Amino acid sequence: MTLNSDLSLDAVRDAIEATEATPLLIDARDRGLTGISGLKTVGLLQRLARAAEGHDSCYLEIGVFQGLTLVSSALAAPTLPCFGIDNFRILDPEGTNKSIVDQRLNDFATTNAHLINMDFEDALAGLLAQTDDQKVSVYFVDGPHDYRSQLVCLLAAKPLLAPGAVIVIDDANYPAVRQATYDFLTSHPDFALMFEAYTDAHPANLDAATLAAAENGWLNGVNVIVHDPAHWVDRTLPPVSEDRTLYFNDWLVHRLALAELAPQALALAHAVVDGADAKAESTALKAAYTSLAPTAEARSRDRNTYSAGLTSGHLANIKAAG
């Protein structure tokens, strides 16, 4: 079927089927192009980017890391402008990821690829100025995986998408990622889930043989969404849990004085329930508290609202008619 769109649904389906048969379109691993995406994810992005060439649009990704998916997509579609957003705030203990990306963009001569070194929300807010007003036909979401970030990645990008855009969402094994896809799809009926694939666990928790298969596949799961206002694609939703306790818990945790210490506090809790010597976890918690202390001491123990100084009543103005 031919739609008034940058990418036809047939082109997206063909790209998925070709990727399932042969993961990579262009293999640059022997030239050192590695990263933390599955081979099928990389290959699908390459094929979608190639299919988008010549449509006056661009490729966009959130989560560049060391440049595997950005450079691979740009190599596969040399005439397609490709943009990658990353602020290099995590997964970068040596602080070298940005220079690795710069080096790779240079080594692979991908002059159509551009790094936007910013937080993703700030970058999305001003994206069209960076892309010369070109809208996004292929959008890869692989940045922060908390529920809100995943949902904002979809909501904030929606006005930036070209008709018929395709969205590839990595790490769909995580329930918060699937929940954000689910919530976006149920509130945006013009979009459809075209493909989903999962493994039984995160790659860190797989045995060696299953891990090897995942690395050659979709690694930590994938959701692929297409813009389908004509409803050609049968509507399905990614599986989510009926138990929403973890999302309700956000409110219970966020309002606590020591909310930022939740990861360290839970590591300590784990050691305690295991009956292990919890010294290391206790030391880590106290160390993390040291930098939070000045902020935390100014807070209440619980029910912090951060609403001091907000208006006691503001009624919006209504412009006079005519």
Ligand X SMILES: C[S@@+](CC[C@H](N)C(=O)[O-])C[C@H]1O[C@@H](n2cnc3c(N)ncnc32)[C@H](O)[C@@H]1O
Measured CA to CA in angstroms, residue 82 lies from 27, 150, 209 at distances of: 18, 21, 34
For 158, residues 6+ apart whose C-beta sits below 8 A from its C-beta are 188
Residue from 65, 83, 191, 218 binding ligand X (CB under 6 A)? 65
Residue 148 CB, nearest approach to ligand X (Å) = 11
Spatial CB neighbours of 143, under 8 Å, sequence gap ≥ 6: 62, 63, 85, 86, 120, 149, 153
Range 114-133, binding ligand X (CB under 6 A) = 119-120
CA distances (Å), 317 to each of 309, 310, 313, in order?
21, 18, 13
For residue 19, the minimal CB distance to ligand X (Å) is 15
Q: How far is the CB of 129 from ligand X (least distance, A)?
A: 17
Q: How far apart are CA 12 and CA 165, in angstroms?
A: 10
Per CB under 6 A, contacts with ligand X among 7-36 are 35-36
Which of 21, 89, 204, 273 is close enough to bind ligand X by CB under 6 A? 89
Rg, C-alpha atoms of the chain? 22
Closest residue to ligand X, based on beta-carbon distance:
35
Which CB, 93 or 313, lies closer to ligand X? 93
Separation between Cα atoms, residue 196 and residue 23, nearest integer Å? 16
Binding mask 230-269 toward ligand X (x if CB under 6 A, else -) reads: ----------------------------------------
Number of residues interacting with ligand X: please give it, by CB under 6 A. 21
Q: Rounded to the nearest whole angstrom, what is the least distance from the CB of residue 220 to ligand X in the complex?
A: 9
CB 246 within 8 A of CB 260: no
Judged by CB under 6 A, the residue of 15, 24, 28, 37 near ligand X is 37
In the complex, the residues that contact ligand X under the rule CB under 6 A are 35-37, 63-66, 68-69, 85-91, 119-120, 142-144
